[in-house]
Amino acid sequence: MPKITFINRDGSETVVDAKPGLSVMETAVDNGIDIEAACEGSLACATCHLVVVDQEWYDKLGAPSDDEEDMLDLAFGLTKTSRLSCQIRVTEELDGVRFRVPDDF
């Protein structure tokens, strides 16, 4: 199983085994990561916003869709490597990726 690291708001890191096929949002919620995920993955909010720590990983994820870009405009703490975690599917190729939880929703 691929390992994903979440950097929490307090700077601590949580490394989890991620099940391929789930979204990164589902993986985060299932492992107690502090994101809201209010729309439960329906691409209707930005509360599952995470920041991809390394540009190299961001590039590997592929470009966000236009709909995701529109929702990202609503995200607090938006960065150039921000993504909605509901739009990223866990695959074996994500082993080692690191996401930072933004300071606020």
Q: pLDDT digits over 14-59, tens only?
A: 999 999 999 999 999 999 999 999 999 999 999 999 999 999 999 9
- pTM to 2 decimal places: 0.94
Tokens of 54: 């390394």
DSSP per position, 5-52: EEE-TTS-EEEEE--TTSBHHHHHHHTT-S---TTTTSSS-STTEEEE
Kindly give, in sequence order, each residue whose CB lies less than 8 Å from that of residue 80, ignoring residues fewer than 6 positions away.
Answer: none
DSSP per position, 78-91: --TTEEEGGG-B--
48-83: pLDDT as tens digits: 999 999 999 999 999 999 999 999 999 989 999 999
Question: How many Cβ atoms are within 10 Å of 16's Cβ, its own excluded?
Answer: 17
User: Could you tell me if 25 and 43 are in contact, meaning their C-beta atoms sit under 8 angstroms apart?
Assistant: no
Residue 103 pLDDT exceeds 90 = no
Provide the residue ranges of all domains of the chain, joining segments of one domain with +. 3-100
User: Could you tell me if 96 and 62 are in contact, meaning their C-beta atoms sit under 8 angstroms apart?
Assistant: no
Residue 105 pLDDT exceeds 60 = no
> First-to-last CA distance in the chain?
29
Question: What's the CATH number for 3-100?
Answer: 3.10.20.30
